[in-house]
Chain A
Amino acid sequence: MAEKTVMDYTKYRLKKEEEIREILAGIPKISILWCQKCYKEFKEDFEPECGQLKDILEGMGTEITVCEPVDFLCNNYLTKKILEHLQVDEPIGVVSCGLGIQFVAGIYNRRRVFALADSVLHSGNATTIGYHGIALGPEKCAACGQCYLEITGGICPVVACPKGLLNGPCGGASSDGRCEVNKELPCAWIEIYERLKKQGKGFSSFVEIRNYSIFKVDEKKRFEKANRNERTEGFYGGVHPLEMKESTEGKPLEDFPAPERIFVFLSQHTGLPAKPVVKAGDSVRVGQKLGESTGFISSAVHSGVSGKVIGIEEKIHPVSQTLQPAVVVENDGADTPDPSVMPVMDPEGLSQEKLLEVLRNRGIVGLGGAMFPTSVKLCPPKPVDTLLINGCECEPYLNTDNRLMIERSDEILKGAGIARKILGARRVVFGIEDNKKKAIESATKSAGGGSDVEVVSLKTRYPQGAERMLIKRTLGRDVPDTGLPFDAGVVVLNVSTLYSLYNAVYRGIPLVERAITVTGVDVVKPGNYIVKIGTPFYNILNSCFDSESLGKLNGDYQLKMGGPMMGIVQTSTESAVIKGTTGLLLLEKPIVEPSEENECIKCGRCVDVCPMELHPDYYAYYGKRKQWDKVVEYKVKNCIECGCCQYVCSSKIDLLSFIKKAKRYANNKG
């Protein structure tokens, strides 16, 4: 394999000493902001420019009051936040490329801002700038708007020929094929000729003339807006992957046949695992308690079928991927209901405590994936004025919440009514992403007619369904760094959770079944199924996929529980549906899988998309060196593991792996 070419794409260099002396003559003190550069190897060391500048200023007798290194100075949003907290005195010297300087000068538009560096041009000719890609490779693009590359064998004459000639060589090339402008440079047109010869294709095109007017200013402005303003509308960061919802969008909810055996894990919620209350040989009925809640943050688990308890066996847990105890129940197919399955009489008239008791007993937890006990969430330690219904479902592929909203929005809103009563919330806001038109219609219809539920349509973006982002987007409130939604006076509940809450209260059914989306590559029966909690994955897979594609499970394909972004890769089909299962996806393994080994090139994309405004690039750098304390210093605890950074990482670094390790380290340390 050829050696990788790594180009030096340094964006700025310090101005010459004489020039700096001239610019700063007579200035007694100065604050310095300097950009830590981008598109380069990630290094911990400070840039040499800072040291040089300090020496020059010392020689001049100018005092430096503040000297602040900033990562990605041109990132408007984050830099503005840094500058708000920084006490800088006039005048300000900026060491960065022209972008950073203009940005700082725009912020401090009543103070003197000095440019102390010049931008470095990397390619192009006297009339054109060349741009590199998100890689440190040698190729550049002049973004001319009329790509000629098929005519020139894939070598761009606009940037590779110093004269930017489009129609053949100038005639000044030396006999050994060198450029007359610079002897070290090969003549681009000779290279083009050689390349075309290899392709068996002569240069046979008509005369090309460059059209400088091709891209209108207004059109460019439109792209800029779409890129900067609209992308960060509501909350910072986030991504918009292909939605891939078409295959199951139109599939109505359908009951999945109850399996012969169910494996009900004792731990399928945040907090302590449930304590089993049945033993091998016991006969159980639908809705009967199998495990009891063992603390304040814990939850009960119930049987979704009637039959006989086989025992408590160790099975691979779909979240932790370790062996965990599960109650195995053999289904007798009779569906005999337990006497405890009784609707609550007059739920509107019940006290808050009684209602919470019902939810606790019936094992209701958050069904968006986190599985936090709902009864705990509904008695927050601080007053809450708003109940936020989360109908975002921002993960690609999944349609369970979508279908629930389309088909059962009345029930969801009734459930929300109970939650609102428990919370004493003044306001109910129902946020739905705008790619779910039918769900919005249905919710608006159900909410109409005298109810004061506000249905809000949100521009689709991942991870809008995360509590913090949703609160910021719909209510404009910030949840503090280490806080929870109630710190902002909000409780967020997912539509699936509200539907199960409705079932628990109005129909008396504990959480024994939930809707999941099953789809993916080669899917035979894609759909949104209501499955019993505890249904083994192999039952679902065998019914929805053919054996050939399942055979590729350990090769080209992988099984994910949840969505493609946050879903967990499953190593065993012997695992079973838990309360937090939102879907089962069979996906192709990526050709290039993320690795911890890859090197960061500081392209800044991860910082650009992190909705928590963190610096994932540092996690990779320090994580690789096992300096976990440093990772914790960069607020890894705030990370919500949405996976946006890994999704955009141009070096395919396994950032989530570093993040999880660092979090474990921080937890062990306390």
Chain B
Amino acid sequence: MLITKVKDHRKIQEILKGYNPFVFKCFGCREVHFPEEEINEILKEGQGHLKGIARIDYLCREEFTRRYLEAFENEVRATKSILVFSCGVGVQVVSRLLEEKIVFPGCDTFYLNGFQGVTAQDFDCEQCGQCWLNLTGGICPLTACSKGLLNGPCGGTTKDGKCEVNSEMDCGWVLIYKRLQSIGRLDLLKKSAVNVRDYNLIIRAAVK
């Protein structure tokens, strides 16, 4: 459930004109924001420069993407480059399947809170590998605090409990304090020693 945003239209037109690519447009996670109408407009404008278009869902599913490549074999063979409208995963899959083609991403990818699960959420999990939620009443300081502070607020909170980085955002530590108050566990704030994140866990995961 990543969000995609179309890159600069001028840049895409340049790619179309300069490379005459074959186009994959993934409408992937379907109900997630996907700018299909915007893409269709761009493609209409550059219609004469296209080798062909495949509309596909879940471009990241390699076994199905291969079948599309077979169905559009001639069109794909006729060009040296592919333009892919999808999240970064889809672009990488196409690149791997067509190693000799130049693959252009047509979109930039952003993430939605809660992506690693199945629904978009207000809150997020940073996959830190050492869950802090027992100390903070079930509100994650890494993601609820814009600075990801583990040991209490930074001191920059406004009077109405908003974050100094973005005044629309609640201060994560104010939320944590209120939650701990409501479950009667303010003592946790005093009890816990200084918390330090173990980045080693992440590096180990990165090289796994």
Q: What residues of chain A have their CB less than 8 Å away from a CB belonging to chain B?
A: 1, 4-5, 11, 15, 23, 38, 72, 74-76, 97-106, 109-115, 117-126, 129, 131-135, 137, 139-147, 149-150, 153-156, 162, 179, 181-182, 184-185, 195, 198-199, 201, 214-215, 217-218, 220-221, 223-224, 226-228, 231, 239-240, 242, 591-592, 603-605, 607-609, 647-648, 650-652
Contact = CB atoms under 8 A, between A and B. Distances in A.
Contacts of B122: 224
B70 to A, nearest CB: 9
A162 B203 contact: yes
B89 interface: yes
B117 A133 contact: no
A131 B111 contact: yes
Given A109-B179, A139-B89, A120 B32 contact: no
B121 to A, nearest CB: 6
Contacts of B91: 147, 149, 154
Contact of A99 (B102, B121, B129, B201): B121
Contacts of B206: 121, 123-126, 162, 181
Of A123, A134, A239, most buried by chain B (CB within 10 Å of CB) is: A134
12 contacts: A99-B125, A105-B137, A121-B129, A139-B93, A143-B111, A154-B92, A162-B206, A217-B166, A224-B112, A224-B122, A228-B119, A650-B58
Given A102-B139, A195-B99, A184 B94 contact: no
Interface stretch (B42-50, B61-69, B152-160): B61-69
Contact of A153 (B62, B95, B121): B95
Given A112-B183, A137-B93, A124 B202 contact: yes
Interface in B68-117: 68, 71, 87-96, 99-105, 107-117
Nearest to B119: A75
B112 A115 contact: no
A141 to B, nearest CB: 3
B33 interface: yes
Nearest to A240: B31
10 residue pairs, one from A and one from B, having the closest CB atoms:
A105-B138, A154-B95, A98-B125, A133-B60, A141-B88, A604-B118, A133-B89, A182-B207, A143-B111, A74-B117
B62 A4 contact: yes
A115 B138 contact: yes
Interface in B167-198: 168-169, 179, 182-183, 185
B34 to A, nearest CB: 11
Contacts of A76: 119, 121
Contacts of A101: 131, 133, 138
A90 to B, nearest CB: 9
A97 B66 contact: no
Given A118-B130, A139-B96, A97 B116 contact: yes
B123 A137 contact: no
B118 A608 contact: yes
B103 A102 contact: no
B88 A156 contact: yes
B10 interface: no
Contacts of B94: 154
A648 B31 contact: yes
Contact of A11 (B100, B116, B182): B116
Contacts of B101: 199
Contacts of A201: 102
B149 interface: no
B207 A110 contact: no
Given A113-B138, A162-B203, A605-B118, 20 more contacts: A38-B118, A75-B119, A98-B126, A103-B121, A105-B139, A118-B130, A121-B127, A121-B205, A126-B202, A133-B93, A139-B93, A143-B88, A144-B108, A145-B110, A150-B104, A154-B103, A224-B112, A604-B118, A647-B30, A650-B61
A223 B67 CA distance: 32
Interface residues of B, number: 90
B7 interface: yes
The A interface is mostly helix, strand or loop, or mixed, namely: loop
Interface string B14-57: 00000000000000111111001000000000000000000011
Contacts of A223: 3, 33, 110, 112
A255 B116 CA distance: 54
Given A135-B58, A184-B207, A126 B126 contact: no
Contact of B138 (A106, A217, A242, A605): A106
Nearest to A130: B206
B145 interface: no
Nearest to B207: A182
B202 A121 contact: yes
A155 B110 contact: no
A132 B179 CA distance: 32
A315 B27 CA distance: 40
A145 B108 contact: yes
A150 B205 CA distance: 26
A112 to B, nearest CB: 6
B62 A114 contact: no
A591 B71 contact: yes
A110 B182 contact: yes
B120 interface: yes
Interface centre among B32, B119, B129 (most CB of A within 10 A): B119
A220 B206 CA distance: 26
A199 B100 CA distance: 5
A4 B63 contact: yes
Contacts of B62: 4-5, 135, 137
A220 B110 contact: yes
A227 B113 CA distance: 11
A120 B127 contact: yes
Contacts of A147: 7, 88, 91, 105, 107-109
Contacts of A162: 203, 206-207
A1 B64 CA distance: 13
Contacts of A605: 29-30, 118
